[in-house]
Structure 1
Amino acid sequence: MNPNNPPTAVSTELPPPPVSFWQAFWFWLKLGLISFGGPAGQIAIMHQELVERRRWISERRFLHALNYCMVLPGPEAQQLATYIGWLLHTTRGGIAAGVLFVLPSLVILIVLSWLYIAFGDVPLVAGLFYGIKPAVTAIVLQAAHRIGSRALKNNLLWGIAGASFVAIFALNVPFPLIVAAAAVLGYWGGKFAPDKFKTGGGHGKTGASYGAALIDDDTPTPAHAMFSWARLLKIIVIGALLWLVPMGLLMAYFGWQHTFTQMAWFFTKAALLTFGGAYAVLPYVYQGAVMDYQWLTPTQMIDGLALGETTPGPLIMVVAFVAFIGGYTQALFGPESVFLAGALAACLVTWFTFLPSFLFIFAGGPLIETTHNDLNFTAPLTAITAAVVGVIVNLALFFGYHVWWPSGFAGGIVSSVDWIAVLISIAAAIALFKYKSNVIHVIAASAVLGLILKTGLQ
């Protein structure tokens, strides 16, 4: 055997065998159960599993899909899973990937919301959160590094990432404006400096790193992903019915002013405003759910965000907590059925929040698939990815501030530090960066450590 050509190198020259629907189904279920760390951590997990380990899709095609999901309203990680599932196994594959990305989180949040509102303080959960939050900070930093190391191929893209970070961190520029500015820069950059805005690192480098993929850079677009006006019209009609029928039933049975109907309408609007992820829409949700409708208190909203941050699935699933608390506390089915009211409210809100995401993928995916070699489309999306790296770094700092200085700087910067949280973050970062540990293992170990330390400190 030639020592310069080891078996591992040979084995990656050929693409992996075709993936059956049920093989993908079990992977999407697993992903839904381990997708901690918010969108950045979830995208990092998908890249590691789908691009590097399983080679179901090439890095260039992965980034092209990710770029499209970044400009859509809604949870980009869930949309990316839906997109790849659709690309692999048509509409049923996209539905399976998207639903399974959300379903475990919905079930877990319903249970935790019930424990929270019915039994008050839960020391076990508080201890687990104490360890998970610092680990999430490290996971987000690692995700920024992983995406940035692949997307920031030159000084111009680094400059876009840096400008994006300054804009959101120091100037508080809204994320949609950052995306729009990056897209404009990418469009003109693709015309005047096309070599600076080519997607990914090129097939040669990708192939050398991970090997040929099932859906590779030059794999033809499958028939179901080809654009047609008839298919687009069909998707629009079906999507409209999937929204109109349940909304019509709510109005007919409960009336327009009922809490269920108002939740469905409010979170439909929220779903169309989630550019830039959950944090971009949280002020809108807070204003509506807490201030206007008074479905829950400000303290409950903050606790719900903590639950959303530390459970698998999209962070926007905090809306399920909001709805559960609103349905439960208002006893919409009477005092003997408060859990049923809360659970139904959470399910309704989840439906109306995520329905647009599926429609955006199934309607827009065919158009995006026809453009993955067209620089006029890929250059703006490449610039957007660079800008998103800066936003992710800002998100990591946001987490770090709230985790390491939970009480702010009231007692001074040094004296107010939660040093145990800092040490957990450092340990998690070392495990992720130096030892390449699995994200779910880091989460689990940090949760156990947090529980032990929290219990010992009390």
Structure 2
Amino acid sequence: MAEGAPGPGAAPGDSGDDGGDEGAPRAPVRAEGAHQPEYAERTASWPGLLGVFLKLGVVAFGGPVAHIAMMDKEVVERRRWVHRQHFLDVMAATNLLPGPNSTQMTMHIGYVQRGTAGVWAAGSAFILPAALITFALTWLYVELRDLPAMDAVFYGVQPVVIAVIATAMVRLAPTAASEWRTRGVFAGALALGLLGVNELVVLALGALAGVVLYRWRPWQRRPRRGVNGMVITPLAPWLATTPTPTAAPDLVWQLAWLFAKFGVTLFGSGYLLVAYLQTDIVDRFGLLTTEQLIEAIVIGEMTPGPLFTVSTAVGYMVGDVPGAVVATVAIFFPSFFLAMLLGRWMPAIKRSEVASAVLKGLTAAVLGVMLAVAVEIGMRVIVDVPTGALALAALAALVWTRVSAILLIPIGGLLGYLWITFVA
């Protein structure tokens, strides 16, 4: 069936009124050519599927919320490739899986339409443009980094990036710490993060705390349900952390191991990747400085697509072209398989009370880890009154106005250049 063609039972101009009782419920229209026809009204052609996600990979600025809003307009409203209720259900369920949520949404839409091949096609089409743009900007940055003006520019950019990270936490806080139990998990995660406890351990404890606080009723005997095991399976990477190797015979293989670990354990906001990179790439192995990491984040913020393409910039800075390729592939690769699991387990996950409890604990723990790392990075970046004032001004602008980070970052760079060149 061609892209945009009405599904069976939806002839052009047909309002759906078959002359029966007015107001009688109607079964959803099924796209019989799709892999999961019960979730779609129309069937996508291969060129249509690839074209939509290639376009989104080029123009989707603004983070996962903006990405998902664009997807809703393109694939739900305009093309009807996914029923809106299923789109919303998947959006909630992706929060239970590690990896970039908006990218996994593209993969799941591909699964609904074309099965396993659709997962790989849609996900790759969304990731590739952003990764290539990030690679080009990183190459340009490395070529120009030794210019004296670059230090002045990043003097102003770095406080703005701290404000961007802080803004993400301000927006997540009402959901992540909405009542006393989640606030307790958040406070505990923050304390452990400031004490230097490994972030994977903190997330695992957050998941456990969610189950204990929301599901543990020792006075009640509950029947065991297979669905709970199905939910815990994709969460196993958080609950069974593995040690990071202290050395690797080859830098590229070390990058592959680290970014694959990030890909299977990174839950929640893409900004949690900052915590992982700071802990492993900067503090544990010394492959970059905090300042270089922030510069990589800047490049990721100024490019479209998933924030996880920061891995492309970090990989290039550490290991040149091979490092960029390996880091990008390693961090995104697990998401393809997780998206396929989500497609198959979606009904069971939606019904699981354990999944809901785990999600509440993990979300609060993520926010605590993010804040702990933001404090650590902020102490290294905000070194004087001008950087402190710029960070506060950027935070106020992001919280109380509609200005975007993409605009504030170059403004910060300009102010930093002017201050260092003409005032300091």
TM-score, normalising length: structure 1: 0.60
Deviation for aligned residue 1:323: 0.6
Picking from 48, 54, 62, the partner of 2:91 is 62
Structure with the bigger RCO (C-alpha within 8 Å, sep 6+) is: 1
- Does the 8 Å CA contact 2:293/2:314 hold for their aligned counterparts? yes
Deviation for aligned residue 1:285: 4.3
Picking from 360, 365, 373, the partner of 1:395 is 373
1:404 aligns to 2:382 (yes or no):
yes
Distance 2:415 2:314 in 1: 25
- Does the 8 Å CA contact 1:144/1:389 hold for their aligned counterparts? yes
Distance 2:377 2:88 in 1: 28
Give 2:385's aligned residue: 419
Deviation for aligned residue 1:449: 2.1
Give 2:213's aligned residue: 189
1:436 aligns to 2:424 (yes or no):
no
Give 1:108's aligned residue: 137
Deviation for aligned residue 1:428: 0.9
Picking from 239, 249, 260, the partner of 1:272 is 260
> Structure 1 vs Structure 2: percent identity of aligned residues?
16
1:84 aligns to 2:113 (yes or no):
no
Aligned pair in 2 of structure 1 residues 364, 124: CA closer, same or farther (>3 Å)? Answer: farther
Deviation for aligned residue 1:144: 0.5
Aligned pair in 2 of structure 1 residues 172, 454: CA closer, same or farther (>3 Å)? Answer: same
Picking from 56, 65, 68, the partner of 1:47 is 65
**CA deviation map 1:86-106 (0-9, x unaligned):** 123342222222333433222
> What amino acid sits opposite 2:420 in the alignment?
K
> What amino acid sits opposite 2:295 in the alignment?
L
Distance 2:151 2:337 in 1: 37
Distance 2:106 2:326 in 1: 24
| Structure 2, gaps ≥5 residues long | 1-40, 77-83, 112-118, 218-229, 231-247, 267-272, 301-306
**CA deviation map 1:378-411 (0-9, x unaligned):** 2202210111111122232223211212xxxxxx
Deviation for aligned residue 1:59: 6.8
Aligned pair in 2 of structure 1 residues 63, 123: CA closer, same or farther (>3 Å)? Answer: farther
Picking from 320, 323, 334, the partner of 1:357 is 334
Deviation for aligned residue 1:166: 0.9
Deviates more, 1:396-405 or 1:347-356: 347-356
Deviation for aligned residue 1:153: 2.6
Aligned pair in 2 of structure 1 residues 141, 148: CA closer, same or farther (>3 Å)? Answer: same
Deviation for aligned residue 1:444: 2.9
Root-mean-square deviation (Å) = 3.4
* SS across alignment from 2:363: helix
> What amino acid sits opposite 2:391 in the alignment?
S
Give 1:321's aligned residue: 317
Aligned pair in 2 of structure 1 residues 403, 263: CA closer, same or farther (>3 Å)? Answer: closer
TM-score, normalising length: structure 2: 0.64
Distance 1:319 1:428 in 2: 28
Deviation for aligned residue 1:366: 2.6
- Does the 8 Å CA contact 2:210/2:357 hold for their aligned counterparts? yes
| Structure 1, gaps ≥5 residues long | 1-16, 36-44, 70-75, 194-226, 228-258, 291-297, 325-342, 406-417
Picking from 136, 141, 159, the partner of 2:184 is 159
Distance 1:191 1:287 in 2: 37
Distance 1:303 1:108 in 2: 17
Number of matched pairs:
315
Give 1:377's aligned residue: 355
Deviates more, 1:421-430 or 1:442-451: 442-451
Give 1:310's aligned residue: 298
**CA deviation map 1:232-288 (0-9, x unaligned):** xxxxxxxxxxxxxxxxxxxxxxxxxxx9x9344222222233345354355554699
**CA deviation map 1:148-203 (0-9, x unaligned):** 2133332211111111111111x22111111111111222334248xxxxxxxxxx
Deviation for aligned residue 1:83: 0.1
